[in-house]
Structure 1
């Protein structure tokens, strides 16, 4: 059997394992290990597994993953994320659809702390769904906005998605973080505009909330200042070059823990809970990355990435058409696969094509991460939809998917704008980091 045929059989087996809900890391480990064994020998497979595991586990760049995750988890257990929502609600909660818009702003703020879409959706769902239900919001809007707002966690820095993309493609984490700022704010604006449009067309979807006094607004803002200060210091430190991303993650995590202790909100039990969640999430990410470094050499040995690259490059179409085909592939795969799985499966195939066509890898990273976000709310997998369903158990799954549809369309429009105007993604990294 030829190497190409072994590669195709291996990828087919991998897809079958993923459909059967075998954990992504284990499925990629099995296919990569057995594939290298078949193409080379058992010693080669064993040696690669040992060397790649050690190399990744000792990578200093990956320290940002557990530290940023810990920062978000501590912010959640100490109520800091809830205070972000309270501040946004106090300012715009009285407007029609204001509670939903405040939820999106709260998701954006929490995303800037945690870098996790699932954590953002889960935390803001617990905080906001009961409030929107109490004020008569249609459950399609309330659940849809939480599921969609949670996707901001993978785009607004610090983003775990950007970190994994950087590791897989050998790109700068700092440049990717910078590139995600304006697209993240653009998507946030599109979500708020979508809420306003929905509430204008269907006023009963988002009735007006209660008024808050000036003193209540000021009190809510004061409560959110420590958290906002951490966000500004860590992300601003990266932008200005004061911190590297690794140093910023340590500063952010340390400051959040210190604030929790000073405010007497962080007990040992809460810290233990946050630490355990951080360890589990970090272990999951590390296993996926190590598995990716097993399957990438397997694909390279089969020459499948080269074949796909040559095929796409030989097409008598422009680079933007090829880019469109690649993004369309991500949108389709997003209906069935988890985002990180798509990254590690496709980067060895598509990234060489992008570099061969002369496209900016930082810009491509933003586009890919945005399409991963769209997969988080696409049926039938829609991880964020199921997260919201776990909080809103009385809301049928169909109504949640109906609620996220307008936001999915808003994300598609944002993706089109980023493709048409690459400088939205590139202006900050090109001007602030040389």
Structure 2
């Protein structure tokens, strides 16, 4: 059997395992190990397994993952995410759809702490869904806005998606974090615009909330002040060159723990629970990354990357046409595959093509991560939709998927804007490093 045929058979077997809901990391371990064994011998497969696992697990850059995850978990345990939501609600909750818009803003704020879309959707769902239900919001809008707002966690830094992209493509984590700031804010604004327009057209979808006095607004904003300050310190510190991403993660995690201790909102059991969740999540991410470093050599040995590159050359689409085709593939794959699995499976194939065509790798990273976001609310997988379903068991999956449609379309519009105007993504990283 030729190397190319072995590669095709291996990829088909991998997709079959994923379709059978075999864990992503285990599927890639098995196919990568067996593929290298078939092409290069058992000794090569076993030595690669040992060396890659150690090399990756001992990489100092990856310390950013557990620290930022810990920062988000502590913020969730101590109720800081609730403070972000309360501040936004106090300011804009009295307008039609204000509670839904406040949910989007709260999701954006929590995304800047956790870096996780699932955590953002789960946390804000627990905080906001009961409030929107109390004020008789249409359940399609309330659940849709939480599911879509939660996706901001993978775009607004610190994003675990950017960290994995950086590791797989050997790009700067700091540049990627900064590249996600303006697109993240743009997408957040687009979501708020969707809520506003929907509630203008159909006021019954999102009734106005009670008016709050100026003093109450100021109190709510002041309570959220410390956590907003942490966000500005971590992101602003990276932009100003004061912190590396790892140092920013350490400062952020330490700051939220200190705030929790000073305000007496955090107990030792809470810290233990946040730490345990952080370890479990970090272990999951690390296993996926190590498995990716098993599947990548197999793809190289089987010449799969060369075959795809030749296919793109034969299509003669040019850089922009090729970019649009790649993004289209990501959007389609997002309907069936989990985001991290898409990254580790496709980047070894697509990234060399992107570099060959002169496409900026940082800009491409933002576009890819936004495409992954769309997959989080795309049927039939739509991970965030199932997360929201677990928080709102009385709402059918069908109604939640209907609720996310306007937000999915706005994500597509945002993706088109970012493709047309690369400067939106590249402005902050270029000004930081130049």
**Residues 1:301 and 2:301 are matched in the alignment:** yes
* CA distance in structure 2 between the partners assigned to 1:250 and 1:122 by the alignment: 24
Instruction: Tell me, yes or no, if the aligned pair for 1:120 and 1:153 is still in contact at 8 Å.
Output: yes
1:316-395 pair list within 5 angstroms: 316-395=316-395
Report if aligned partners of 1:313, 1:353 keep a CA contact under 8 Å in 2: no
CA distance in 2, matches of 1:232, 1:58: 29
**Distance in structure 2 (CA, Å) of the matches to 1:125 and 1:378:** 18
Structure 2 regions of 5+ residues with no counterpart?
none
Shift of 1:265: 1.0
C-alpha distance in 2, partners of 1:266/1:207? 35
Q: Distance in 2 between matches of 1:205 and 1:397?
A: 18
Contact 1:104 1:146 in 2 (8 A): yes
Runs of 5+ consecutive residues of structure 1 not aligned to the other structure? none
Contact 1:363 1:426 in 2 (8 A): yes
The answer (yes or no) to whether the contact 1:362–1:426 under 8 Å persists in 2 is: yes
Match of 1:140 in 2: 140
Measured against aligned partners, the alpha-carbon deviations of 1:176-205 in whole angstroms (never above 9, x if no partner) come to 011101100100010000001111111100
Find the counterpart in structure 2 of residue 277 from structure 1: 277
Show the 5 A alignment for 1:16-35.
16-35=16-35
How much does 1:307 deviate?
1.2
Quick check: 1:240 aligned with 2:229? no
Partner in structure 1 of residue 427 of structure 2: 427
For the residues of structure 2 that align with 1:313 and 1:92, how far apart are their CA atoms? 51
* 3-state secondary structure, aligned to 1:137: coil
State the alpha-carbon separation in 2 of the partners of residues 93 and 113 from structure 1.
Answer: 23
Can you list the C-alpha shifts for 1:250-298, whole angstroms capped at 9, x where unaligned? 0000010011011111101111111111011000000000000000000
Question: TM-score, normalised to structure 1's length?
Answer: 0.99
State the secondary structure of the residue aligned to 1:48.
helix
Q: Which residue of 1 aligns with 2:205?
A: 205
Shift of 1:319: 1.3
Where 1:21 maps in the other structure, the secondary structure is coil
Structure 2 CA distance, aligned partners of 1:320 and 1:124?
37
TM-fit CA distance, 1:318 = 2.2
CA-based RMSD of the aligned residues comes to 0.6
In the TM superposition, what is the alpha-carbon distance from 1:418 to its structure 2 partner?
Answer: 0.4
Matched, 1:116 2:116: yes
* Cα deviation, residue 214, structure 1: 0.6
Match of 2:222 in 1: 222
Please give the TM-score of this superposition, normalised by the length of structure 2: 0.99
SS in 1 for 2:22: coil
Partners of 1:335 and 1:276 lie apart in 2 by 31
Residue 55 of structure 2 corresponds to which residue in structure 1?
A: 55
Q: Distance in 2 between matches of 1:75 and 1:264?
A: 13
Q: Deviations over 1:230-252 (max 9, x none)?
A: 00101100000000000000000
The secondary structure found in structure 2 opposite 1:103 is helix
Separation in 2 of the partners of 1:85 and 1:368? 28
Alpha-carbon offset, residue 306 of structure 1: 1.1
> Residues 99 and 132 of structure 1 are in contact (CA less than 8 Å); yes or no, is this contact kept in structure 2?
yes
Q: CA deviation at 1:314?
A: 3.0
Match of 1:163 in 2: 163
